[in-house]
Amino acid sequence: MDERGTPSKLMDERLGHEDGSVQARYSHITTEMRRRLLQALTETWEKSLDARLAMSPGSPVAVSTSC
């Protein structure tokens, strides 16, 4: 998430951490922040599926692409 520029407040929420700092208290998570994170995680997931297929195109283990 750091590499994708995810705000620390959103990372803390996703990871179940609590930050008691003043900055964390006065910053807020927006819908746009969540949308960008979802897009970034989806792109990462899709790239990992492509990489897996490239490594083992004949794998007997099915790849789940449904969400």
Instruction: Break the chain down into helix, strand, coil percent, rounded to 5.
Output: 55, 0, 45
If pLDDT is split at 50, 70 and 90, which confidence band does 4 have? confident
54 has a pLDDT exceeding 70:
yes
Check residues 65 and 44 and name the one with the higher pLDDT: 44
Q: Measure CA 35 to chain center.
A: 10
Q: Sign of dihedral through CA atoms 29, 30, 33, 39?
A: positive
Retrieve residue 16's tokens: 């179940």
pLDDT average, residue stretch 18-29: 82
Nearest-angstrom CA–CA distance, 57 and 1: 29
